Amino acid sequence: MDPSRKRKLRLVVALGAALILAGALIYTSFSASTEASTPSEVVASAEPGRSYELTGKVAKDSVKRDDDRLRFVIADRDGAGSVPVAYAGVVPDPFREGREVIVSGEMKSGTFVAERDSLVTKCPSKFTKEKTASIGG
Amino acid sequence: MAGVGSACLFAGLLTALYAAAASLYGARSGRREVVVSGRRAIYCLAGLMVGATAVLQSAFLRSDFSYALVAEGSSTDTPTFYKATAMWATQDGSLLLWALLLSVFSSTVLFLTRRSLREIAPYATAVLAVVAGFFLLLMVGWENPFGTLASPPAEGSGLNPLLRHPAMMIHPPMLYTGYVGFAIPFAFAVGALITRNTGADWIRATRKFALVARTFLGTGIMLGALWSYTELGWGGYWAWDPVENASLMPWLFGTAFLHSIMVQEKRGMLKVWNVFLIIGTFVLALLGTFLVRSGILDSIHAFGASTIGVQFLVFIALVIVGSTALVISRLPHLRSEARLDSLLSREAFFLLNNLVLVGLCLVIFWGTFFPLISEAITGTEASVGPPWFNRLTTPLALVLALLMGIGPVVAWRRITPAGLRRALMWPVLATALVLVALLALTSSAERPLAQLMFCLVAFVLAVVVQEFWRGAAARRTISGDPWPRALSRLVARNRRRYGGYLAHAGLVVLFLGVAGSSAFLDQRDVRISPGERFTSGGYSITYLRPTATLGADRAGTGAPITLGAVLRARDKNGKTFLLRPSRNFYPTQDGSKGAIGRFFEGEATSEVDVRWGLRRDVWTAVRPDISALDGPIREANAKFGDASGDVQAVVIAAIVERYRRHAPPATFRAIVSPLVSWIWIGAGIVVLGALIAAWPSPEARLRRARSLYAARLGRDLRAEAS
Amino acid sequence: MEYAAALIVLLCLVAFVVVWPLLRGEGSPAPDEGAREELEAAKEAKYREIRDAELDLQMGKLSSTDHRAIDRELRGEAIEILQRLDELERVTPGR
């Protein structure tokens, strides 16, 4: 095979590999992603069995510990809507009422049942986010 | 003094503008003295930044709360070490750190190249001055670290307790040294493009900066991971958080750059690719700084949007557009001087390595910015989590490990298949042995990917050992030195190559740690009372007793109240050791919690206790349940709310003692992760390798080698002439 | 007030340092010294390449035919650099 043809072949192979990677990227990310929602959105239009990522502020005086479950209410940033949350798992250090949090889970009869260890609290110093996600694939 | 600080900043801005203008004018008009003037302006800028930093640091150390920044980030009871390092925990302070590092590094490189690179240096100066000017503009216009408060508070808010960890305090300067370090090769690349001087000169002058920058960046990333592991309550070291990814991406590009510039130096190839890489690295470094500062991704719905996000974005866009236009206009000068002869060549493997690194970066970029991408495409914001990242990066990491094994044995231009076979025979054999051992002695077959990584690690290490061995053997046949001396002379005369091999070895050891700990960890969350026990990862862990102390925080962070537990762990052989995880409670300034209650309702941090080990770590964290103390705290608030500090201290001591005597069940997390320590050890080896590669050769040895070669070359010259 | 005073003082200092070379005029070293440093660096790099190729041969990575070809090419380039350095010496004599 003469050199220029070899080079063209290599280019084709490289481009092909890149396309495959890009395809894998796009396909897996759209199918494995969780949608971000606010409390009012989730109360209004959540589909049962579908996983959502709920973001908002922890409402004042709403945090209760119920044996090993944590119960609290998340409200919209502007306070418009809110939804009660039932959470099990490790609670990040900065978690407190009035702080902004993200938690993943699904709606079950009016309560947002959270995935274990999925609670994330925004660190107030604006420096980094606190996570309790589990490691490993 | 705050006025002096602000004046330093504004003067710095004007100086930077002058430096840019003078360098450009001097370069275009050919008037050298104007160029020199521009260079001296950069020296002045460094001086001004040092002055401004000194003013700010002295304010922190004196706890001068008339400075808004000091009031926000420090307090009288913050330990001195954390007072000194609190500056870069704030947005404004970290901008100043950027400007300081940039001006000092620029001064250094311009001083070192003051006699060479006559054509390129002025343009590089202008670029560096413009970047510095941008950061100064941000500070002068929007985020002045020297803002003062009309009525200074008596006490500051204190450094966020989560950041009171030595690793977290060195982490920002390390990262910034990395980011800023890449600005130097970027500036010289732009200068080289403008002057059409696209040989390897700009690379040679700035390679050390790129290597040092990349090493500091890597160390900073590792420190962040270490902090996450030892300070946060979740026991992991990497969460694919946008902030973490933001620092990893320039590292990947920078590593690709360091490899591919070798190809340009040796063969004059990949010129376009190299400028693309360094521009990309610098843009990613700016993006990294921007991501942490702007809140655009930290929040899905703009948690804490900052005031400088838009400016950063504009600047980054300008850099991208400007650089791309420049590269396109200079494409004819960036043509390769040679072609790829064979796929079995070092050039080809470097190119492959580059592709994998850039691919990794792309994956991480996509995942990090996915919320914005999905919003743009589908209208709804969605995000991907660690499982997605792990799934896509693992195969690329495996390929990278494979390349690190084969690459070093391949020669420049071409190696014959027979040569390759001979070179790889022993390493492959060694790997096969390792695989057999793994299958026979461990249960690693349960996780095939991890097992594959273990085999690749063995492969790379075998290759590296072989390289050292054969190289030293080759030296011995010439010089007849004994082994140790041959080895040390080998490394000393080929620092870059053998430093690089060592760095590869370190990196795969790191991969070993990651694979082992993520595939085989055992995590247990339990809620137990004193006396009860549980098992995790082959250890039987008993909750012996609770602990409660005042002002005796082991980690030296200044926490007043510490509640914790003593655990006894027993392994399969009956050996026991104690673990003492605890939780520090810091007071809040919020008066609504009550005078006593505020000591329990402020920030709280997990002080984990880890038993480090080469084979596995036992990591524990505790979350004491203080809800049982609510009643006594309420009573105390009512009765002693107005009492003196001493009385309140006694009351708090009593409440804390109550916890110790009647502790309710506490929540524990115990993680047994195999091989985690090798992550840190591997990172250390990488740094060692980088040090060796970057170490300047002593002059004398060089001169001797030079004269030997010159003599030989002279002889050849004469022979050819006759 | 403190700000304005400090600003004026600082700008004066900077101006002094920065204007000094302008007043002195063409006081910088001969332009060819820059070229010499660059050539020296290129020479070092070329020598390193020759050494690397030899090491590769000794370690068995390069076949001797390949090494001969590469070595000849590299030495040719090194000679070129040495010649350019010699020319520079002739143009700016005396060291």
- pTM for the full model? 0.88
pLDDT at B697: 67
For residue B657, which of B588, B563, B593 has the smallest C-alpha distance?
A: B563
Residues B522 and B651: their CA atoms lie apart, in Å, by 41
pLDDT at A124: 56
pLDDT at B614: 87
Mean pLDDT of chain C: 78
Q: Compute the nearest-CA separation of B686 from chain A (Å).
A: 24
Residues B178 and B211: their CA atoms lie apart, in Å, by 9
| Cβ pair B357, B251 in contact under 8 A | no
| Cβ pair B456, B525 in contact under 8 A | no
- In this structure, the strands spanning A100-108 and A120-122 are antiparallel
pLDDT at B711: 67
Residues of A in contact with B164 (CB under 8 A): none
A3, A55, A132 ranked by CB distance to B301: nearest: A55
Read off the pLDDT band of A130 (50, 70, 90).
very low
CA distances from B449 to A24, B391, B399, B436, B445 (A): 19, 11, 12, 16, 9
pLDDT at B706: 63
In this predicted structure, the answer to whether residue A91 has a pLDDT above a threshold of 50 is yes
Strand, helix or coil at B620?
strand
Domain parsing of chain B, residue ranges? 1-164, 416-520+680-690, 522-674
Residues B666 and B491: their CA atoms lie apart, in Å, by 55
Strand, helix or coil at B584?
strand
DSSP H or E stretch at residue A91 = none
List of chains touching A (3+ CB pairs within 8 A): B
How many CB atoms sit inside 10 A of residue B525's CB? 19
For residue A80, which of A43, A124, A113, A34 has the smallest C-alpha distance?
A: A43
A65, A93, A104 ranked by CB distance to B605: nearest: A93
The verdict on C91 touching B (C-beta cutoff 8 Å) is no
User: Which of B88, B270, B336, B383 should be substituted to probe chain A, the one whose Cβ sees the most A Cβ atoms within 10 Å?
Assistant: B383
Residues of B in contact with A100 (CB under 8 A): 299, 303
User: Is the CB of B33 less than 8 angstroms away from the CB of C28?
Assistant: yes
Tens of pLDDT, residue by residue over B571-620, are 888 888 999 988 888 887 766 777 777 788 777 888 888 888 888 888 99
C10, C34, C75 ranked by CB distance to B8: nearest: C10
Phi (first) and psi of residue A34, to 5 degrees = -115, 140
DSSP H or E stretch at residue B311 = helix B309-329
Q: What percent of chain B has pLDDT over 90?
A: 30
pLDDT at B717: 67
Residues A98 and B252: their CA atoms lie apart, in Å, by 38
- Put simply, the chain C residues between 27 and 66 with a CB less than 8 A from any chain B CB are 27-29, 31, 33-35, 37-38, 41-42, 44-45, 47, 49-53, 55-56, 58-63, 66
User: Is the CB of B392 less than 8 angstroms away from the CB of A28?
Assistant: yes
Q: Provide the β-strand partners of residue A107.
A: A112
Tens of pLDDT, residue by residue over B378-412, are 777 788 888 889 989 999 999 999 999 998 888 77
- Put simply, the chain B residues between 95 and 124 with a CB less than 8 A from any chain C CB are 115-118
Of the ranges A59-63, A86-90, B332-336, B503-507, which is most confident?
A: B503-507
pLDDT at B181: 92
Joined together, the tokens standing for residue B607 give 């002080």
Q: What is the mean pLDDT of residues C18-27?
A: 72
Read off the pLDDT band of B703 (50, 70, 90).
low
Q: Provide the β-strand partners of residue B585.
A: B561, B604
Classify burial at B224, counting beta carbons within 10 Å of its beta carbon; exposed 0-12, middle 13-18, buried 19 or more: buried
User: Is the CB of A133 less than 8 angstroms away from the CB of B523?
Assistant: no
CA A120 to chain centre: 9
Read off the pLDDT band of C32 (50, 70, 90).
low
pLDDT at A128: 42
| Cβ pair B620, B609 in contact under 8 A | yes
pLDDT at B475: 81
For residue B138, which of B279, B307, B251 has the smallest C-alpha distance?
A: B307
In this predicted structure, the answer to whether residue B503 has a pLDDT above a threshold of 90 is yes
With touching defined as 3 or more inter-chain CB pairs under 8 Å, the answer for chains A and C is no
Residues B549 and B557: their CA atoms lie apart, in Å, by 14
| Cβ pair B245, B368 in contact under 8 A | yes
User: Could you identify the residue written with the tokens 């990349």?
Assistant: B214
The better pLDDT of the pair B550, B299 is held by: B550
Joined together, the tokens standing for residue B90 give 């704030």
Read off the pLDDT band of A132 (50, 70, 90).
very low
Residues B336 and B299: their CA atoms lie apart, in Å, by 45
The domain B1-164 is placed in CATH, from the list 1.10.10, 2.40.10, 3.90.550, 1.20.120, at: 1.20.120
The better pLDDT of the pair B168, B140 is held by: B140
Q: Provide the β-strand partners of residue A52.
A: A35, A105
Q: Compute the nearest-CA separation of B285 from chain C (Å).
A: 29
Residues 6+ apart with CB under 8 A from B585: B559, B560, B561, B562, B563, B599, B600, B602, B603, B604
Mean pLDDT of chain B: 85
Output helix, strand, coil percentages for chain C, rounded to the nearest 5.
Answer: 80, 0, 20
| Cβ pair B634, B643 in contact under 8 A | no
User: Is the CB of C14 less than 8 angstroms away from the CB of B8?
Assistant: no
User: Is the CB of C18 less than 8 angstroms away from the CB of B37?
Assistant: yes
Buried b (16+ CB within 10 A) or exposed e, A7-30: eeeeeeeeeeeeeebeeebeebbe
User: Is the CB of C6 less than 8 angstroms away from the CB of B471?
Assistant: no
Q: Which residue of C has its CA nearest to B39?
A: C18
How many CB atoms sit inside 10 A of residue B660's CB? 14
Buried b (16+ CB within 10 A) or exposed e, B296-325: bbbbbbebeebebbebbeebbeebeeebee
In this predicted structure, the answer to whether residue B487 has a pLDDT above a threshold of 60 is yes
Q: Compute the nearest-CA separation of B303 from chain A (Å).
A: 7
Joined together, the tokens standing for residue A4 give 């220029």
ipTM value greater than 0.90? no
Q: What is the mean pLDDT of residues B520-545?
A: 87
Phi (first) and psi of residue B605, to 5 degrees = -125, 150
Residues of B in contact with C1 (CB under 8 A): 3
Classify burial at B146, counting beta carbons within 10 Å of its beta carbon; exposed 0-12, middle 13-18, buried 19 or more: buried
In this predicted structure, the answer to whether residue B301 has a pLDDT above a threshold of 50 is no
Residues of A in contact with B242 (CB under 8 A): 129
Residues B513 and B506: their CA atoms lie apart, in Å, by 11
User: Is the CB of B518 less than 8 angstroms away from the CB of A137?
Assistant: yes
pLDDT at B708: 63
Length of chain C: 95
